[in-house]
Structure 1
């Protein structure tokens, strides 16, 4: 599978909220902001971004589901927004990434209208302030 990097979301973690039940399952909700850099889009993560991680008992593999909106400028210079729903799993077999996701996107940018219908891959990499999420287009 060939991939083209579209942009990177530089996540700054703000607050975390967690729950653990008597059966050993836990949920962590992480609010975040950040900025976005890349070939196709530059901008910010609007307030309200949240990542929810569900961790099974005995450390069973866990899932993550993030929802957030970006505001900025597309590669043609037009103002736009991009909504991202990023679902995935922690994958300990990846070489350097923490996780891999399948982002679904919706945008009001005409130049980026392919985001509304194509298939994408996201990968998360640790940073000092949070995580960098690289979004790739499958070719």
Structure 2
């Protein structure tokens, strides 16, 4: 299957909140800001963006789930919003990829309505200001 880049979300990491229990499980909630760039959409991350990471005892499982909204313009110049839910697991780093995800996008843009049902994959890459999330669509 071939993949085409939909957009890149440039994440700037904010405050973190941590919890650990006696069994060795831990949860980290990370607030973040940033913006998105790409040929289909340009915009900013709205307040309330959070990534929740759950790490199993002994670090044997490390899942993540980020939820956030962006406001900007689609490629036709129309104002719109995107909601992104990005779920995945963090594995050993492969070729600069920190993690892979299965994103879901919901948008009110007519021009981007294909994103509401497309098969999407995401990759988290280390960036100077935080993390870049590249989201691809099956083509």
Q: Which residue of 2 aligns with 1:75?
A: 75
TM-score when normalising by structure 2 = 0.97
In 2: Cα distance, 1:92 partner to 1:102 partner: 17
Mapping of residues 35-114 of structure 1, within 5 Å: 35-92=35-92, 94-114=94-114
**Could you report, residue by residue, the CA deviation over 1:60-87 in whole angstroms, capped at 9, with x for unpaired residues?**
1210000000100000100000000000
After TM superposition, give the deviation of residue 49 of structure 1 in Å.
0.3
In 1: Cα distance, 2:50 partner to 2:26 partner: 16
In 2: Cα distance, 1:130 partner to 1:84 partner: 18
After TM superposition, give the deviation of residue 96 of structure 1 in Å.
1.4
Aligned-residue CA RMSD (Å):
0.8
In 1: Cα distance, 2:93 partner to 2:127 partner: 19
Corresponding residue pairs, total: 139
In 1: Cα distance, 2:95 partner to 2:127 partner: 16
SS at 1:47's partner residue?
coil
Mapping of residues 98-137 of structure 1, within 5 Å: 98-137=98-137
Structure 1: stretches of 5+ with no match in the other structure: none
State the 4+ residue runs in structure 1 displaced beyond 2 angstroms: none
TM-score when normalising by structure 1 = 0.97
After TM superposition, give the deviation of residue 91 of structure 1 in Å.
2.1
Classify 1:74/1:121 alpha carbon distance in 2 versus 1 (closer, same or farther; 3 Å). Answer: same
